[in-house]
Structure 1
Amino acid sequence: MDKLTKIPSLDSLESDNLIGKTIFIRVDFNVPMVPSAKGYRVLDDTRIRRFLDTTFRHIHKLTQGDCRIIIGSHLGRPHKRKDHQGWDGIFNIQYVCNHFDTLLRERYKDTYALFPPEVTDAHMTDSLGIIHKHQLPVGGIKFLPNLRYLLDPENTDNFREQFMQDVAQTSDVFINCAFGCSHRVSKSIKLLPQYMRQQGKIAVAGSLLKEEISRLGIFGKRVLAKPETTAVIAGGTKISDKIAILKTFVQARVKLIFIGGRMVNAFLLAKTQKNNLENLAIEQLPSKMWESKGEDDRKDLIREVQFAGEIILLAKKNKVMLIYPDDYKITKDFMETEYTIKEEPDFNEDFQLDLGPETIENYYLNILQEGAIENVFWNGPLGAYDHPQSDHYAEGSKQLAKILFAAAISDQKLSVVIGGGDSAAILNQLDCEELENLIRKQLLNQLNNQINREKLSIKLNSEDTYSIFNNFTSNFFVSTGGGASLEFLQKLLEDKCDSDIANYLPGTSILMDLKPETSQAA
């Protein structure tokens, strides 16, 4: 992995670099939350557990708790709400802190003492005051409030900059462990490490961040080497979120792109409007899709169809197969739990909420090409997996996850990458016992026929789906960053991996710029 990047990382530090020091860690704990009896609870803790199992484990190995830690993360988009709505609720990182504390104690008992965030400490003055006044003991972990609370009505940018200067003054070491945020140019990702290095302090990538770019870098090189054995699965809601990476995959001449989710609607419409795309008017599209929407949403719909048209033309030019579902689960209203199966939706009347049984049955044939595919990248759910009334519409995504996982177990030459976000959340909806049975079946199938399978009992040391998907087989990788993984792969493929892979995201490239041997010029 180290051949792909020379990024300064936690893995290269010694105990002396961390023992007795105050360590600021920028994490990505922007996790899904749901209401509970006590307010809110974490629905999917994958990002938290991956941090604890990588970066935090390494810090503990070097310090045995002899350090002080500050944890900073954003949660949701509180800056989009007026009058602090939700600041003591769904945007309150206290609920994440509670869950983190539970996981931490499972691993390290009472080695560490957690100091929770203030609820609406928008200026963070109380949080930093605790640290400035040396009230944070050895083994203390201070959670900052939601970093997006850093709002100043007069001048938000200036205030955030001053806060980052205060954090840099307070801390001895900066660790970026927020892969999911490293494609954005935020103050805590890019400005803070600059301030730290200006003071001669350490600024490095966390173990998780380095693992992310290394694993994605290896995958990207595989795609460049053998694009003809690469399959891309694109789901989700909007093409605009994925237009750049889809074009890049097409220009790299991958074997195929399977289109699912709500995104497929735009492709189906683009095929019917192929002669009108450049001057497409909203009236030319099915009225059910736009009549209740505002002007901006109508413009978005037109753009989505036009984007789909661009991909279709580009794919034809580069001889890339675009594969659409064979059938769909159809309803007349989004909230309906009863559905019918159709080969194609009539958008004047229908909602398509998931893939149909024929499409699911043909996954191995259409996506894995009966074993000919060696690289698979999946980003975006293939149906309404989080439907509020029914779990029927998650079947297409769940079955795909199982097929890809089973294929990874049985085929060592296959590499599967799940591109974070909703795709990763789908994995945690799967039944643990069902996955264990799937693993047993795949392992038994690999034994020669002379072995009496009835004499074998396979027991797995797995607690849940998280531990299975993240720890069982090394050729199945679940990224913690959706948008970040897309941007990283896009830049890598466009550059043909000609640079250090840390240069492909703002949050990692800044750490390269600030390496000690080059910091004097900064």
Structure 2
Amino acid sequence: MADFKRIDDADDLTGKTALVRVDFNVPMNDAGEVSDDTRLRSALGTVQSLSGRGAKVALLAHFGRPKGEVKPELSLRPVAAAFAKVLGAPVAFADDCVGEAASNAIASIQGGGVVLLENTRFKPGETKNNDDLADEMAKLGDIYVNDAFSAAHRAHVSTEGLARRLPAYAGRSMERELDALEKALGQPERPVLAVVGGAKVSSKIDLLKNLVSKVDALVIGGGMANTFLAARGHPVGKSLCEHDLADTCREIEANAKAAGCDIILPQDVVVAKEFAANAENRTCSIGEVADDEMILDAGPQTVGIVTIAMDAAKTLVWNGPLGAFEIEPFDKATVAAAKAAGERAKSGKLIAVAGGGDTVAALNHAGVADDFSFVSTAGGAFLEWMEGKALPGVEALKK
């Protein structure tokens, strides 16, 4: 995966136009202002690198889901103003991402200048990776840079089509992501431990099947652990459980055994009779769950087992919480395990890479996101990468 072209590989960029795919799909408040500039700041490294080398930087991004229609409320115009503040320099705006409006806007800036083009998804051909649209968009630039890993699992014009028409490179944010993923599963330091949580096995079958052939130990937590426990014959009461996937769980466990991957399931659990904050609860072994109880978290014994597994590992890949971390006190296992991972990563004992929406929220809740080696905010793309799928936007950047 690491064998891709980086912007440092590009020749002289003076006066050239770089079409840069960024992730500016940012949250907005009721006043139409950007409420979180994290994604804007993540683009700074790439934009400053290119503009510092004298290139004109034309930014391509989508915003919302206009489904090929021009919707004024989904215009990127307010984002241009917000990015200008983050950049500390003017950012021009083009009312279109192709054609005269786009080419005139690019022509109006000097080398080193920045322009944001209008929402690529206003074009019906964008998500269809339409050849004509890709040809038209490619006319605007001399090189293409993809800095949006979060959209790399989509074969769209702005993520894949352009990379086949122009010299293509990974931006700074993209290369950090790809380098981190390479360390996690591509060429990792072993042993490798994966922690996978979440509500349902059905949403992560491909992920689990891929991981058991790639890692040395796999912790399964959250609601999906209930399905595995039930498949082993343990009572799960009225817990969230996909009983119809028992055979799938047994198949995954058999594959893991054949591959030499140790499956780690909860040995003790926190149960309650209702799913509510601060509900009356108790901790019990996995064989003692009553019919009217539901499993809402892993217990302290399980956290201890997971921590021991971390001590034995050199690399950790984390996706998903160990319990219903959104409500107290069923966040304890996730917080304790996350803190243990963060401490080991911070001290250099563990390479810890995490990703996925719930995962990022859980690590932030535990206050350890900054302690991990790398935390990916690219939900869908990160999950597909963990599933072992080829990402079109990344494949197009390979040497």
Aligned length: 395
Q: Of 130, 145, 156, which aligns to 2:101?
A: 130
Q: Of 339, 345, 355, which aligns to 1:402?
A: 339
In the alignment, the residues of structure 1 paired with residue 137 and residue 118 of structure 2 have an alpha-carbon distance, to the nearest angstrom, of 13
Given residue 506 of structure 1, which amino acid in structure 2 is its aligned partner? P
Matched, 1:239 2:212: no
Contact 2:231/2:243 (8 A) holds in 1: no
Question: CA 1:60/1:349 → structure 2, altered by over 3 Å: closer, same or farther?
Answer: farther
Question: CA 1:136/1:335 → structure 2, altered by over 3 Å: closer, same or farther?
Answer: farther
Matched, 1:316 2:287: no
SS at match of 2:52: helix
Residue deviations 1:409-462, cap 9 Å, x none? 3344x222113443234333454xxx6xxxxxxxxxxxxxxxxxxxxxxxxxxx
Unpaired runs of at least 5, structure 1: 119-123, 197-201, 275-284, 291-300, 436-464, 471-475, 493-503, 516-522
Question: Structure 1 residue 338: deviation in Å?
Answer: 2.7
Contact 1:356/1:396 (8 A) holds in 2: yes
Question: CA 1:340/1:8 → structure 2, altered by over 3 Å: closer, same or farther?
Answer: same
Given residue 124 of structure 2, which amino acid in structure 1 is its aligned partner? L
Contact 1:269/1:305 (8 A) holds in 2: yes
In the alignment, the residues of structure 1 paired with residue 396 and residue 213 of structure 2 have an alpha-carbon distance, to the nearest angstrom, of 28
Contact 1:469/1:478 (8 A) holds in 2: no
Aligned partner of 1:338 in structure 2 is: 279
Contact 1:176/1:189 (8 A) holds in 2: yes
Share of identical aligned residues, percent? 29
Given residue 102 of structure 2, which amino acid in structure 1 is its aligned partner? I
Q: Of 82, 103, 120, which aligns to 2:86?
A: 103
Question: Structure 1 residue 150: deviation in Å?
Answer: 3.0
Question: CA 1:131/1:231 → structure 2, altered by over 3 Å: closer, same or farther?
Answer: same
Q: Of 211, 228, 233, which aligns to 1:272?
A: 233
Question: Structure 1 residue 44: deviation in Å?
Answer: 7.8
Matched, 1:13 2:6: no
Contact 1:24/1:69 (8 A) holds in 2: yes
Question: Structure 1 residue 361: deviation in Å?
Answer: 5.0
Residue deviations 1:457-510, cap 9 Å, x none? xxxxxxxx6xx447xxxxx22234344345445549xxxxxxxxxxx5322222
In the alignment, the residues of structure 2 paired with residue 9 and residue 133 of structure 1 have an alpha-carbon distance, to the nearest angstrom, of 28
Q: Of 386, 396, 399, which aligns to 1:510?
A: 396
Question: Structure 1 residue 62: deviation in Å?
Answer: 2.0
Matched, 1:51 2:48: no
Q: Mapping of 1:126-205 within 5 angstroms? A: 128-134=99-105, 136-138=108-110, 140-151=113-124, 157=128, 160-196=130-166, 202-205=167-170
**202-211 vs 130-139, greater mean Cα deviation:** 130-139
Question: Structure 1 residue 186: deviation in Å?
Answer: 2.4
Contact 1:332/1:351 (8 A) holds in 2: yes
Question: CA 1:72/1:333 → structure 2, altered by over 3 Å: closer, same or farther?
Answer: farther
**TM-score, reference length from structure 1:** 0.64
Given residue 410 of structure 1, which amino acid in structure 2 is its aligned partner? S
Residue deviations 1:163-186, cap 9 Å, x none? 322211122221111222223322
Aligned partner of 1:380 in structure 2 is: 320
Question: Structure 1 residue 222: deviation in Å?
Answer: 4.6
Matched, 1:479 2:376: yes
In the alignment, the residues of structure 2 paired with residue 505 and residue 212 of structure 1 have an alpha-carbon distance, to the nearest angstrom, of 13
Given residue 372 of structure 1, which amino acid in structure 2 is its aligned partner? A
Contact 1:26/1:188 (8 A) holds in 2: yes
SS at match of 1:364: helix
How well do the aligned residues superpose, as a CA RMSD in angstroms? 3.9
Aligned partner of 1:220 in structure 2 is: 185
Greater fraction of residues in helix: 1
Q: Mapping of 1:241-390 within 5 angstroms? A: 241-252=203-214, 254-272=215-233, 301=242, 304-343=245-284, 344=286, 349-365=292-308, 367-368=309-310, 371-385=311-325, 387=326, 390=327
Given residue 185 of structure 1, which amino acid in structure 2 is its aligned partner? A
Aligned partner of 1:73 in structure 2 is: 61
Given residue 381 of structure 1, which amino acid in structure 2 is its aligned partner? P
In the alignment, the residues of structure 2 paired with residue 251 and residue 486 of structure 1 have an alpha-carbon distance, to the nearest angstrom, of 16
Question: CA 1:429/1:205 → structure 2, altered by over 3 Å: closer, same or farther?
Answer: same
Contact 2:319/2:359 (8 A) holds in 1: yes
SS at match of 2:115: strand
Given residue 148 of structure 2, which amino acid in structure 1 is its aligned partner? A
Matched, 1:22 2:13: no
Matched, 1:416 2:352: yes
In the alignment, the residues of structure 2 paired with residue 356 and residue 98 of structure 1 have an alpha-carbon distance, to the nearest angstrom, of 48
Unpaired runs of at least 5, structure 2: none
In the alignment, the residues of structure 2 paired with residue 157 and residue 222 of structure 1 have an alpha-carbon distance, to the nearest angstrom, of 33
Given residue 86 of structure 2, which amino acid in structure 1 is its aligned partner? L
Question: CA 1:394/1:30 → structure 2, altered by over 3 Å: closer, same or farther?
Answer: farther
In the alignment, the residues of structure 2 paired with residue 359 and residue 507 of structure 1 have an alpha-carbon distance, to the nearest angstrom, of 39
Question: Structure 1 residue 212: deviation in Å?
Answer: 2.3
Contact 1:42/1:95 (8 A) holds in 2: no
Contact 2:271/2:289 (8 A) holds in 1: no
SS at match of 2:139: helix
Question: CA 1:95/1:330 → structure 2, altered by over 3 Å: closer, same or farther?
Answer: farther
Contact 2:154/2:392 (8 A) holds in 1: yes
Question: Structure 1 residue 151: deviation in Å?
Answer: 3.3
SS at match of 1:170: coil
Residue deviations 1:118-141, cap 9 Å, x none? 6xxxxx47x754322346423553
